[in-house]
C-alpha cells in the first residue's frame, strides 16, 4: 500500500509542472498578442500622420503654389501627440501639346519618433510612408 501513495504524489507533481508550463505559455502568448495589437494601432496612427502630411503638402502645392524640399510638421494640434511627419516635395514642369503643367511629387513619412524618418528602429517603432503625384495647370 505504501507504493500507491508514492505514485499519487509523483502524479500530482507531474500535473502541477504541466499546468505551470501551460500557464507560462498562455501568459507569453497573451503578451505577444498585446504587443501585436499595440503595434497595429501605432501603425494606424503613423498612417494617419503620413496621410495628414500628404494633404498638407497638396494644399501647399496647389493652393499656395510652393513646394519646399522638406518640411517637418507638428501633429500635436491634430491629436497625434507622439507622432511626427516629414513631407518631401519635388516639382517639375511638363508640357502636353501647348499647355505647360506643374507636377508635384509628394512623399510623407509618418512615425512614432521625433527623429522620423531618421530614427533608429526599436521594438515599438512604427513608420508609414505615402507618395502622391498631383498636377497643377
Per-residue model confidence as pLDDT tens digits over 60-104: 888 888 888 888 887 777 777 788 899 999 988 888 888 888 889
Give 115's pLDDT tier (boundaries 50, 70, 90).
Answer: low
Q: Please, is 92 exposed, middle or buried when counting C-beta atoms within 10 Å of its C-beta (0-12, 13-18, 19+)?
A: exposed
When the pLDDT of each residue in the chain is averaged and rounded to a whole number, the result is 82
How many domains are contained in the chain? 1
Give 6's pLDDT tier (boundaries 50, 70, 90).
Answer: low
Please provide the distance, in angstroms rounded to a whole number, between the alpha carbons at the two ends of the chain. 98
pLDDT tens by residue, 7-36: 777 888 888 898 888 888 888 887 777 777
Peptide bond into 92 cis (omega under 30): no
pLDDT tens by residue, 122-133: 777 888 999 999
**Domain range spanning residue 10?**
2-136
pLDDT score for 100: 85
pTM attached to this predicted model: 0.69
pLDDT score for 4: 59
Amino acid at each position: 500500500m505504501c507504493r500507491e501513495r508514492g505514485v499519487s504524489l509523483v502524479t500530482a507533481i507531474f500535473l502541477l509542472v504541466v499546468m505551470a508550463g501551460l500557464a507560462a505559455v498562455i501568459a507569453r502568448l497573451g503578451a505577444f498578442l498585446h504587443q501585436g495589437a499595440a503595434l497595429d494601432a501605432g501603425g494606424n496612427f503613423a498612417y494617419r500622420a503620413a496621410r495628414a502630411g500628404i494633404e498638407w503638402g497638396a494644399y501647399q502645392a496647389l493652393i499656395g503654389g510652393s513646394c519646399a524640399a522638406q518640411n517637418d510638421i507638428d501633429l500635436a494640434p491634430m491629436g497625434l501627440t507622439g507622432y511626427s511627419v516629414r513631407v518631401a516635395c519635388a516639382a517639375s514642369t511638363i508640357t502636353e501639346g501647348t499647355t505647360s503643367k506643374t507636377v508635384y511629387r509628394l512623399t510623407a513619412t509618418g512615425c512614432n519618433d521625433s527623429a522620423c524618418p531618421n530614427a533608429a528602429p526599436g521594438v515599438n517603432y512604427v513608420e508609414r510612408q505615402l507618395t502622391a503625384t498631383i498636377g497643377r495647370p
